[in-house]
Structure 1
Amino acid sequence: MSEDGCVTAAQHLPAPRLIATDLDGTLLRDDKSVSERTVAALAAAEEAGIEVFFVTGRPARWMGVVSDHVHGHGLAICANGAAVVDLHAGRKFIEVRSLPRPVALGVVRALREAAPGTSFAVELTTGINYEPTYPPFFQDPGANVATAEKLLAEEAPDTAAPVLKLLAHHPELAPDAFLALARATAGEYASITRSSPTALLEISGLGVSKASTLALCCAERGISADEVVAFGDMPNDVEMLTWAGTSYAMGNAHPDVIAAASGRTVANNEDGVAVVIERILAERAAATDA
């Protein structure tokens, strides 16, 4: 660990064109706040010409936690890559990479057989619906409650709304064991990951991830992976951290994230993202002055 709290594989930090950061457990503190230090670091990065992307498992409607801190970084990748959202335009969907309903139904059937007791929720562009036995979403009181089979049926309410992801919860299995079981059971049909400390899985269209959508957004801007610095803390960040030229696991990160990242910073409650950004900008300023 260096004096400023960062561990990095390189002697000097890169001069990136884009910063991609997860939210929960990464940019946000545990109380879901964004510290003044972090707000200042994000603003300074953009003033220096570095784009900032929020890349999260959250749905668009839960982006209020950072809405007051959006400057130039108006685009967010939500639902683990299933949606690109414009935060400047009322959280408008710019791009949707949906999970086909027949595929989602196939995953439901497979997990019901492999892990009895699994309950499901269906995240749509219009909101979330869930089964009676699924842990209720108190932030979404207007959800439809029915079996996943009914919620995913073509004649169900919101049929026209794309499915962003399927969520699967198990009341007894260990989180990593449930993830491994689900990937072995249905990983050839869909992308399966997790970001919760509980046995809650997030299931997206095959090939959809934070990394693949971030790569598409960067390609549109002529930005290469080597020009990206990424931050994360949970398994749903692993592909993004592996893809980015430089990546940091938070001090509070899952072991798989630590293994995937090229560097490590301090925990989210210690402003680990800001620590790295400040160092990047300090080295850039020093190089300019030299």
Structure 2
Amino acid sequence: MTSATAPRRVPAVPRLIATDLDGTLLRDDKSVSERTVAALAAAERAGIEVFFVTGRPARWMDVVSDHVHGHGLAICGNGAAVVDLRHDGAGAPRFIKVRPVERETALDVVGTLRAAAPGTSFAVERTCGIQHEPAYPPLHMDPALSIATAEKLLDAAAAEADEPVLKILAFHPELSPDAFLGLARAAVGPRAEVTRSSPTALLEISAPGVSKASTLALCCAERGISAEEVVAFGDMPNDIEMLSWAGASYAMGNAHPAVLAAASGRTESNNEDGVAAVIERILEGR
């Protein structure tokens, strides 16, 4: 078991909990434990908002949509969208805010990575679903809306072209995940945000300035909540900005080394209900 350590800065009265899902709130089998469900419910009864902040698209949020209780909001696609998860079971989550990748930016990034890392294949994540290239591996839970080269998928006349692009996905079959991330960030520079949350060499590319942290900051500002009043949890590089921004942050016991370095505290692993353990301590302190 990983022993928890307290963060260096703890909000006196937290007003919002921001938690990643995969590898953080969810166990490895993608379930939400009874202990975690109870902790989330107790936090909201105490007046603390809970935001799920994930790289997942909105359509993959059923795993937690029953546990959002009152507000029903989640930040998806690494900050590219804010969605209302409340629906009657027949409808899809409703997009509240979208921060898309512009077509020209997406094409520029695709061209840059093709040159910098030959063998890269791409997928395009839109509000309506995913599209990908023929060589892109079957990494996702749902079938593609269409299959073609990224350039064709991003053409202004292509099918679904009127649906916003939330992020570009780039996969390399040979590079290590961190090596691919470093190479891509150096090649793309400030033209886009490049991160990763997968154990494979799969990169997630968002519009400039779009991250979990920046969208969470916008949502908090709308509620009059400061960074110092937020407690955040995460495990992978796409969580680092959020963990650095929040007043208190916890890396999971199973977290990437860079995440352990960025967070102000550490908790147990996702399979040991590390998020619930911290929430319980917060509520005991109140």
Q: Residue in 1 aligned with 2:150?
A: 148
Tell me what 2:217 maps to.
215
Q: Does 36-45 or 14-23 show the bigger shift? A: 14-23
Q: 2:11, 2:229 within 8 Å by CA — same for their partners in 1?
A: no
**Residue equivalent to 2:237:** 235
Q: Match for residue 36 of structure 1?
A: 34
3-state SS in 2 of match to 1:187: helix
Query: Amino acid of the residue matched to residue 17 of structure 1?
Result: R
The separation in 2 between residues aligned to 1:121 and 1:26, in whole angstroms, is 25
1:11/1:128 CA distance change after superposition, 3 Å: closer
What residue in structure 2 maps to residue 168 of structure 1? Answer: 170
Q: Secondary structure at the match of 2:187?
A: helix
In structure 2, the residue matched to 1:49 is 47
Compare 59-68 and 268-277 and name the one that shifted more. Answer: 59-68
Which structure 2 residues correspond to residues 273-288 of structure 1 after superposition, within 5 A?
273-284=275-286
Q: Which runs of 5+ in 1 are unaligned?
A: 285-290
Partner residue, 2:14: 16
Q: CA deviation at 1:123?
A: 0.1
> How well do the aligned residues superpose, as a CA RMSD in angstroms?
1.5
The AA in structure 2 aligned to 1:242 is S
How far apart in 2 are the matches of 1:80 and 1:100? 16
2: CA distance, partners of 1:98 / 1:280: 35
Aligned to 2:131: 129
Separation in 1, partners of 2:140, 2:223: 38
Which residue identity does 1:214 align to in structure 2? Answer: L
Shift of 1:14: 3.6
Q: Deviation at 1:136?
A: 2.1
- Structure 2 residue aligned with 1:88: 86
Residue 6 of structure 1: how far off its partner (Å): 2.0
Change (3 A) 1:142 1:199: closer
Q: C-alpha displacement at 1:66, in angstroms? A: 0.6
Superposition deviation, residue 10 in structure 1: 4.4
Aligned partner letter, 1:208:
V
Q: Which residue does 2:101 correspond to in 1?
A: 99
Question: Structure 1 residue 225 and structure 2 residue 223: aligned?
Answer: no
Give the conservation status (yes or no) of the 8 Å contact 1:13–1:280: no
**8 Å CA contact 2:10, 2:247 repeated in 1:** no
Matches of 1:227 and 1:30, distance apart in 2: 29
The one of 172, 189, 192 equivalent to 1:190 is 192
| 1:4-31 deviation digits (Å, cap 9, x = unpaired) | x420144976420000000000000000
Larger displacement relative to structure 2 (169-178 or 136-145): 136-145
Deviation digits for residues 14-72 of structure 1, max 9, x if unmatched? 42000000000000000000000000000000000000000000000000111222212
Q: CA deviation at 1:141?
A: 2.1
Is the Cα–Cα contact under 8 Å of residues 11 and 230 in structure 2 kept in the other structure? no
Offset from partner CA, 1:136-156 (integer Å, 9 cap, x none)? 255222420000000001011
Gaps of 5+ in 2: none
Instruction: Work out the percentage of aligned pairs sharing the same amino acid.
Output: 74
1:169 touches 1:201 (CA, 8 Å); kept in 2?
A: yes
Q: Encode CA deviations 1:261-281: one digit per residue, 9 max, x unaligned.
A: 000000000000000000000
Amino acid in the other structure paired with 2:260: I
Question: For residue 262 of structure 2, what is the amino acid of its counterpart?
Answer: A
| Counterparts of 1:273 and 1:141, CA distance in 2 | 32
Aligned to 1:199: 201
